[in-house]
Amino acid sequence: MTEKTVETPIVLTEFGKTLAVKRRDGEAMMCLWFYEWHMFDAVLKGDHTHAQGKFPWQVNSAGTKAVAEAPCLKLTVTTTADGADLLLEVENESGHDWPETAAIIPCFTPGSVAGPNANVNFYDEDHKRTYFVAETGPALLKDRELHINAELEDEMAARAVDGLHIFSHKWPPSDVSAVEGLMMRESADGKWVAGIAWDDYLTAQGHNPWKCMHLSVRVGPLKQGESKKVRGKIYLFEGGKDDCLRKYRSEFR
């Protein structure tokens, strides 16, 4: 039976090593790089290891569904009216157990180094339009600091040495915790908002060379042979951070 597709305002296309999530009217675009880093023994042993980098996307002809597969992981992206639903399927085939802090880091980027079609409207080079969610609500991500999921601070501290991790030189630890699995960025023209959400996360960080947002997906704890699913969402619609936060809370709470 042929899979039925419904056209949405969003279309998916492979764009370099990323999946471009675009408005069909050409007004806005963000890209998802699946995925850049492992954390704390996820997939590979080590507190911070590189992922393979490029996992080819299988995109249907309508541009409404895309699938990427990596060792132990499969990500399915399905377009919606305001972005795209994400479903990460995880199976620990690595040969070692993964601890509570095991996570992977997809890169959510405006395509800053992927070619001439990058979306400058979402660059935020002044670091004035990118937010994570703190106890007080949406909070500016000022530099490249790392905001830890408040519920996992003790587990993260147990993996640190003198309060630092192997990645702390580039992602300095912050005293302000993240309390919800959402990162957002408003466009320079004030018209659009982009966001990425996961229902299980470890850290929020960004403003790296790809002008990106890194919301790490927690894939642990997971013993050898066990599996789990993590639900996520990409947002890309007309509005601001408060609109995005409301949508997120209606879908993930």
pLDDT digit string, tens, across residues 60-114: 999 999 999 999 999 999 999 999 999 999 999 999 999 999 999 999 999 866 5
Q: Mean pLDDT in the chain? A: 94
Q: Quick check: 57 pLDDT over 80?
A: yes
What does the DSSP 8-state code read for residue 71? T
Please give the average per-residue pLDDT across 4-22, as a whole number: 89
Q: Quick check: 160 pLDDT over 70?
A: yes
156 — phi, psi (to 5°)?
-65, -40
| pLDDT value at residue 7 | 82
**In 79-123, alpha helices (H):** none
| pLDDT value at residue 115 | 57
Residue 195's pLDDT band, with cuts at 50, 70 and 90, is very high
- Collapse the DSSP code of 242 into the 3-class scheme (helix H, G, I; strand E, B; otherwise coil) and give the result: helix
- CA distances in angstroms from 2 to 5, 60, 61, 65, 67, listed in the order given: 9, 12, 12, 14, 17
Separation of alpha carbons 193 and 96, rounded Å: 40
Q: What is the dihedral of CA 207, 106, 103, 247, to 10 degrees?
A: 80
Q: What is the dihedral of CA 81, 253, 76, 112, to 10 degrees?
A: 70
| pLDDT value at residue 1 | 42
Please give the average per-residue pLDDT across 1-7, as a whole number: 63
Q: What is the bridge-based pairing of β-strands 29-39 and 48-50?
A: antiparallel
Residues in a beta bridge with 231:
87
CATH number of 10-252: 2.70.98
- CA distances in angstroms from 137 to 132, 176, 181, 237, listed in the order given: 8, 12, 12, 20
Percent of the chain beyond pLDDT 70?
95
Please give the average per-residue pLDDT across 11-17, as a whole number: 92
Please give the average per-residue pLDDT across 35-41, as a whole number: 97
**In the chain, alpha helices (H):** 153-159, 241-252
Sequence spans of domains, the chain: 10-252
Q: Give Cα 151 distance to the centre of its chain.
A: 19
Residue 3's pLDDT band, with cuts at 50, 70 and 90, is low
Neighbours of 25 (CB within 10 A): 7
Q: List, as one string, the DSSP characters of 156-203.
A: HHHH-BTTB-TTTTTS-B-SSPB-SSEEEEE-TTSSEEEEEEESSEEE
